[in-house]
């Protein structure tokens, strides 16, 4: 197992896969042709990846796995993660989705089926591809790649259907380690105001403020938010602001002090501590290495 030193990490700045209400699910194919140092990312969209060929290491905090063709990985919202090609070329298919694209899916046959569960349980408890299912997963990946080329509503519906099919395949022999709370059909709409507070504001918001904006008590809000999103509201807010500060460091020449203020950090030392936790280096080091 290779140890990746913090200063060797290479950031990737694809913050939301360009997801939108009109395109809540997107598919990307990536071809890794060189053995490079581990690359790291953190984004809002849910991520389900499939290794098509080669071999890779997927890195979490503090867990990691090695994947072979037909294997999958999951990443939750604003979850720091990394990857390192071990055999090249390594080809991947990555499906990214806005959370509510899955949360709002409901079927009368299984009204409480939690589509988002594989993304929100701890990384080591997420679904893995059983050996006898690898061929079926690769077939699903091929169809996803083909349908991703179809424009408009027809293509968007195909992506939604095929993503659900892939999730069903992976859940054939898997169930969440803990069912947690039963999510109501309107779960995402109930916390949507809190999500908007984070995404459209750069200042830290407290759970009490978010609960008030959603018309809920704090305890009920915290329970619903974490059950739905997989992380606490406080972590969700902090990770978004750290990611935004990182993007501004690379897009502008603004002083670190200004960036810290823009993203709601009390001072440079506060931003420094948050960067060490999420990226393993200081903001200044991040800019020098990756600008």
* pLDDT of res. 79: 84
Below-70 pLDDT ranges, the chain: 1-16, 178-185, 188
Domains in the chain and their CATH numbers? 6-170 (2.60.120.280), 187-290 (1.10.10.60)
Size (the chain), residues: 291
* pLDDT of res. 177: 77
How far is Cα 133 from Cα 135, in angstroms, rounded to an integer? 6
* pLDDT of res. 120: 84
User: 68-98, pLDDT tens digit by residue?
Assistant: 999 999 998 888 888 999 999 999 999 999 8
* pLDDT of res. 12: 35
Sign of the CA dihedral 192, 194, 195, 197? Answer: positive
Sign of the CA dihedral 52, 54, 60, 65? Answer: positive
* pLDDT of res. 214: 92
Q: What are the backbone dihedrals phi and psi of residue 89, each rounded to the nearest 5 degrees, phi first?
A: -75, 150
* pLDDT of res. 6: 34
CA neighbor of 277 nearest in space, from 234, 230, 226, 239: 239
| Residue showing tokens 């890794």 | 32
How far is Cα 229 from Cα 157, in angstroms, rounded to an integer? 24
Sign of the CA dihedral 245, 251, 255, 261? Answer: negative
With a pLDDT cut of 90, the percent of the chain lying above it is: 52
The answer to whether 224 and 187 are in contact (CB under 8 A) is: yes
């Amino acid at each position: 197992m290779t140890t990746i030193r913090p200063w060797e990490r290479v950031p990737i700045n694809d913050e939301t896969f360009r997801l939108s209400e009109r395109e809540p699910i997107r598919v990307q194919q990536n071809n890794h042709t060189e053995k490079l140092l581990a690359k790291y990312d953190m984004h809002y969209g849910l991520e389900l990846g499939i290794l098509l060929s080669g071999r890779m290491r997927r890195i979490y905090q503090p867990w990691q796995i090695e994947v072979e063709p037909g294997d999958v990985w999951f990443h939750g919202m604003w979850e720091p993660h990394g990857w390192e090609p071990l055999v090249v070329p390594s080809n991947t298919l990555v499906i990214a989705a806005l959370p509510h694209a899955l949360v709002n899916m409901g079927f009368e046959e299984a009204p409480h089926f939690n589509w988002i569960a594989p993304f929100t349980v701890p990384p080591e408890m997420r679904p893995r591809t059983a050996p006898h299912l690898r061929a079926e997963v690769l077939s699903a990946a091929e169809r996803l790649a083909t349908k991703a080329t179809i424009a408009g509503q027809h293509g968007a519906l195909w992506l939604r259907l095929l993503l659900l099919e892939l999730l069903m395949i992976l859940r054939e022999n898997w169930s969440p380690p803990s069912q947690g709370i039963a999510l109501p059909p309107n779960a995402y709409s109930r916390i949507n105001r809190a999500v908007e507070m984070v995404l459209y504001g750069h200042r830290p918001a407290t759970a009490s403020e978010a609960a008030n904006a959603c018309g809920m008590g704090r305890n009920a809000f915290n329970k619903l938010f974490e059950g739905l999103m997989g992380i606490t509201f406080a972590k969700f807010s902090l990770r978004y602001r750290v990611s935004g500060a990182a993007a501004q460091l690379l897009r502008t020449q603004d002083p670190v002090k200004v960036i810290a203020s823009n993203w709601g950090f009390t001072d440079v030392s506060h931003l420094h501590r948050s960067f060490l936790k999420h990226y393993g280096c200081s903001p200044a080091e991040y800019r020098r290495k990756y600008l």
